[in-house]
Structure 1
Amino acid sequence: MMAAAESMRISVAARQAEYRQTPIWAEWRGVPPQSPIALQRSAELIPAQVVESAGKRYLVWIEPELPRGKTHHYAIRPNPRPTEGFTHKLTENALQIAYKGKPFTAYVLRGAPKPYLYPVYGPNDKPITRHFPMQLVQGERTDHPHHRSVWFTHGEVNGVDFWTEGAGRGVIVHRGLEKAESGPVLARWVARNQWQLPDGKPILDETTEVICYAAPDSRWLDYTVALTALDADVKFGDTKEGTFGVRVASSMEVTRNAGGQIVNASGQRDREAWGKRATWCDYTGIVEGDTVGIAIFDHLANLRHPTYWHVRDYGLFAANPFGVHDFEAGKPKGTGDYTLKKGETLTFRYRLWLHRGRTEEAGVARQYEAYRTPPTLIWR
């Protein structure tokens, strides 16, 4: 089987974007290898990982640097060098992810009204999201206890608030893990969750897939949520309180006047970015002496792309396609309502890019273009 893999070659052409430290997925042709593999170009050896998803196999790697207009030709080889990458461990309440022996993130399954990611470590190996309410840390703001690091939910679903927490609110209950895997290039899991009304009645099935990657100055989390309406139609209401949320580390908050900054794809900054539509938004600041950032990329196939950004100078950072009347002056309440018909599925895809440096120097726009337009792949 390995001999077959050794004879395979792939060409990667950058026709519409450039790819620097970018995850690449290529549909795998043939029998999957039984031992670690790599892509080889001259003396360069790039670790690769084979992943099965939606009935197909893919070869995945981090492309080091491919300028626009250029093509790299790779041979598929056994990897002679042991590659330390991702590992995962399931505990009673969380799926813990590590990279090269250090914590990367954890998907918290139980113990709160919704699943969430916490902690999330940035490219400097320091937590890049707020600790509260999971932990009390001196100097952090303790507002909005429902802002749990990284999460997905909404403030008006069939008239019920799933965004905040407490009596009379909806909850998202973890039902099981379909898959959890890790290797030299990525960690990936698929979770089944269920949205339940305050009386316990389920209204939505949720399938969430999270994929983690890492490079020397970058970390990525691809976050996909598929929602299926169960016994009746489900209406997502027009409110700013939603939907895919991040609460950045308190030291990054713009209001602290300590280097926090918000920039979107249109160049709008800080408070001017609130409620605006953009393909991406980036929140940067200082974490334990290092300038780092969290960029969120809105996928082209998402509802109402480019999305609206419910991004606040006090640290909330959320993509919200529903809250139109809050974001656009003069629009009546209900303009942003969306009804998911019984039995139908609505899917959202986002990429979080955790990077070093400010928006411009990090090249957020370039990374978004690489996300939006994958390279051309030719097997030989």
Structure 2
Amino acid sequence: MNHVPTAESVWDLVVVGGGPAGATAAHDAARQGLSVLLLDRDGRIKPCGGAIPPRLIRDFDIPESLLVAHARCARMISPADQKVDIPIENGFVGLVDREVFDEWLRVRAADAGAVRRRGLFRQIDSPENGPCTLQAEDPESGAPFTLRARSVIGADGARSAVAQQTVRGADRGKFVFAYHEIIQTPAPDSAGADVDPSRCDVYYRGSLSPDFYGWVFPHGPTMSVGTGSADKGFSLRSAVGRLRDAAGLADARTIRREGAPIPLKPLPRWDDGRHVVLAGDAAGVVAPASGEGIYYAMLGGRLAAEAAVAYVRSGDARALKQARKRFMREHGRVFWVLGVMQWFWYRSDRLRERFVSICRDKDVQQLTFDAYMNKRLVRRKPMAHLRIFAKDVAHLLGLARV
């Protein structure tokens, strides 16, 4: 049974932030026997399409009951309204409601032994020797309180306050600002609504985002309709209005609206060399081009927890560096490839048109979904990679027909 410190004693680990990264870190560390406090302000729901791949479901034991929809097809839609349907053969992508999913993860962490506490993180003192001290306050009363910990995981989102105060280079993050509206799913016979409860629609249009994409994802009784952009002068709310018009969803009832910054590049460092290691959005682990973040957040939380456990048990702060090293060893190449893809193909509607056209190719479809579903670049099909390379060059040079 885990030891629960008193107010005067020291926690083995304080996790700041209760999203997928923080809740996973708290769960894993508590199961390893550490005394864990999960500090979360509650009530914040991140704008997110809610897609989770089969590998996440397997690796993190996600029950079927949390899936509000099963996507078996992705539709890519070009600026000229070219539609390319990519079937998800022999599988599906799960869709979750983040409000329900995140809370389930927090409850699971508590069931594993982590202690939950509502609070707003304010400040951290991470000395060279001895435990660190965190200052926080109650979100309702504003009453301050203090926590002491041997280790800290900063999982408090993009532009993390923990990262800004402790980790060198945290100010180098690159962001897209995302905005979505949760709407009521229209009835199947609704006039003009082009929706399918088992299809995710992705719109590549400069009018919907000058540097990202728009999405319409099914959530069973509701849908997520959103977009994102790094252009601060671009009106995301107006773009979502245009997206709803294009999808025939203008008259659907709006349930809630959410917006937040989304990082698109892993930070150069995730630890302070003393007590702190970052995870999830705080570490910058949202995939470029796709914007996928839930799997990478949960994996980052798991790796941060393993690093924190190793540090607490050994006293060697070098263990904290292992979280980033292990993550980048497995996924750094994927992030680099996706970053190059976003930089090139999302620059103009002419290129977006060609990008959607490439998605008709069966080799591209198969390798794309192999990589997405299993979270790795598939190397066992060299001839398919060669064919894709040749086709990409033809599109880049304008030699291929759109």
- TM-score category, normalised to shorter length: under 0.3
Q: TM-score, normalised by structure 1?
A: 0.26
Higher percent of residues as helix: 2
Higher percent of residues as strand: 1
